[in-house]
């Protein structure tokens, strides 16, 4: 039996990132170690995975910088949580509960982020060896480095407005965009040299756009793009900031 056939779920997300999902069926399953073993196998078989995607007619460009490992379990013991906290890569832990009438509830298991330097390890009697990174971390500076001073100032103002909506909003820098979410992304920002593109996670026909600044990405036919949602807004001057923010608030309210 090939190793990949024993992986619970192997897929690719909408951003082109490979995803491994491991399900924990009982308390004795070493779910995190198994997930990492599968990840190691996947990184050694990139070509096979890319061929599989082509055979499934998946045309999205594959992003190998930050492959995802997701563990799903009814509960996690202290050993699981301690392991997830101290690993130099992020493991996504999801908990599920099953209620009467076949209702399935899934939530994220909270994790404390611990930064550990793993760029080198020392072995007695040998030279320092480089440790390959399994995931690439992204930050705001990486997105802003191409932007003009005017666009950087515009972004910081917009960011402050978005985060003021709710103290629980999570800001996450991805490979292609900066996401703002609660349970799901409600706006994604793409920083360009002379503009900011905002993608609003709200279905076509549900947005009230009195200033007509939003572009419906589903008409006349759906347009592929980075980020979530059916609407795109591009701004490059401070005068449009409040107009965009009013639309972002609609997406925030729709997704909460």
Give the C-alpha separation, 14 to 2, whole Å. 26
* Average confidence (pLDDT) over 139-156: 94
Which of 50-54, 94-98, 219-223: highest mean pLDDT? 50-54
pLDDT at residue 27 in the model: 58
User: Minimum mean pLDDT among 63-67, 97-101, 165-169, 183-187: which range?
Assistant: 97-101
* Average confidence (pLDDT) over 27-54: 84
Q: Which helix (H) or strand (E) holds 158?
A: helix 149-163
* Omega cis (within 30) before 2: no
* Average confidence (pLDDT) over 247-254: 95
* Average confidence (pLDDT) over 99-122: 59
What are the distances in angstroms from CA 155 to CA 51, 146, 148?
39, 13, 11
pLDDT at residue 117 in the model: 40
pTM score, whole prediction: 0.57
CATH class assigned to 140-254: alpha beta
Task: Return all residues near 181 (Cβ < 8 A) that are at least 6 apart.
Answer: 169, 170, 172
Start-end of CATH 3.90.1150 domains in the chain: 140-254
* Average confidence (pLDDT) over 73-82: 80
Here the tokens at position 130 are 């480089």
Give the C-alpha separation, 159 to 252, whole Å. 14
Q: How far apart are the first and last CA of the chain?
A: 45
């Amino acid at each position: 039996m090939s190793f990949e056939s024993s992986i619970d779920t192997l897929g690719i997300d909408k951003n082109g990132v490979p995803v491994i999902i491991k399900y924990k069926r009982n308390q004795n399953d070493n779910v995190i170690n198994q997930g990492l073993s599968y990840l190691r196998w996947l990184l050694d078989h990139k070509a096979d995975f890319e061929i599989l995607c082509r055979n499934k007619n998946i045309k999205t460009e594959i992003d190998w910088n930050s492959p995802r490992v997701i563990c799903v379990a009814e509960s996690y013991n202290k050993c699981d949580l301690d392991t997830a906290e101290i690993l130099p890569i992020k493991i996504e832990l999801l908990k599920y509960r099953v209620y009467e009438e076949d209702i399935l509830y899934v939530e994220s298991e909270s994790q404390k982020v611990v930064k550990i330097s793993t760029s080198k390890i020392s072995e007695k009697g040998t030279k320092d060896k480089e440790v390959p990174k399994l995931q690439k971390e992204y930050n705001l500076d990486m997105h802003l480095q191409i932007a003009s001073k005017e666009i950087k100032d515009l972004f910081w103002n917009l960011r402050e407005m978005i985060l003021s909506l709710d103290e629980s909003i999570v800001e996450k820098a991805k490979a292609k965009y900066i996401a703002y979410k609660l349970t799901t992304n409600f706006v994604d920002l793409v920083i360009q040299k002379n503009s900011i593109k905002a993608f609003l996670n709200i279905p076509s026909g549900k947005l009230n756009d009195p200033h007509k600044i939003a572009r419906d990405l589903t008409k006349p036919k759906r347009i592929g793009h980075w980020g979530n949602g059916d609407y795109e807004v591009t701004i490059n001057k401070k005068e449009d900031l409040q107009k965009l923010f009013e639309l972002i608030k609609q997406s925030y309210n729709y997704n909460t």
